[in-house]
Amino acid sequence: MTQLFITGTGTDIGKTHIAAAMLRHWRGQGIKAWALKPVASGYQPARSAASDAGTLLAAMGQMTSDAVVAKISPWRFPDPLSPDMAAARAGKTIPFDALLAFCRTEMSQSAAPLLIEGVGGAMVPLDDRHTVRDWMAELGLPAIIVAGGYLGAISHTLCTIEALRARNIPIAMVVLNPIGDLPVPPAETMAALIRHGAGPVTIFDTQDWRDWLVSL
């Protein structure tokens, strides 16, 4: 049974895009995979279908509404800020133990592939003491790191890898999601990451990426 945590080198890097592609792949194979987006900032109920959770639900072939989104994304905040700040603006906090319990319940009940998508980058604060990395370490799932191909992406990716390794979080794959104007071809970024010990790296929507999905 495949269970993975999807994180990124920063925000707006394409975590949901990658997760949705994986869900569509499994769905095309007749596999009923599931995904969670437990924490979300910048969420507007009137635009639930356009939210990250809404995108995941659509990839699973599910109807989307604010009530359905709540089932996979219990902690949703309107301001597009780091989760701790977004929660504070709403007069709330993200209860870390409840977050872990929610994920563990879903993990224990899922017999199909399960993806848990984080929020922002791997070191984004959830509250005054915990980051997304703490969340990942407690769950113990292998991580997919979504990275870009922009100038600075190599440094950001290697820093994220080191941060996860420092907490013994296994890394299943680094997925380059090359969007926008790229300073070098994605293959050169991938080669540089591998030379510097990044481990397994693939480029989204290539044959290598598709082969890796089939292997899961």
Active site amino acids: 37
**Residue 14 annotated as part of some ligand binding site:** yes
To the question of whether residue 15 is assigned a binding role by annotation, the answer is: yes
94 labeled binding residue: no
The answer to whether residues 54 and 48 touch, using CB atoms and an 8 Å cutoff, is yes
Closest to 205 measured CA to CA, from 25, 10, 59: 25
The reply, when asked if residue 201 is annotated as ligand binding, is: no
Q: Which amino acid is at 99?
A: L
Return the bridge partners of 203, or none: 176
For residue 52, say whether it is annotated as part of any ligand binding site: yes
Residue 71 annotated as part of some ligand binding site: no
| C-beta of residue 48 within 8 angstroms of C-beta of residue 67 | no
Q: At what angle do helices 132-139 and 96-109 cross, to 10 degrees?
A: 40
Residue 145 assigned to a binding site: no
The response to whether 174 counts as a known ligand-binding position is no
The position carrying tokens 């113990």 is 140
CB 60 within 8 Å of CB 24: no
**181 assigned ligand-binding residue:** no
Q: Is 119 annotated as a binding residue?
A: yes
Evaluated on CA atoms 60, 62, 66, 68, the torsion sign reads negative
Tokens at residue 34, please? 């599931």
DSSP 175: E
Binding residues for ATP: 12-17, 52, 117-120
Binding residues for substrate: 41
Binding residues for Mg(2+): 16, 52, 117
Binding residues: 12-17, 41, 52, 117-120
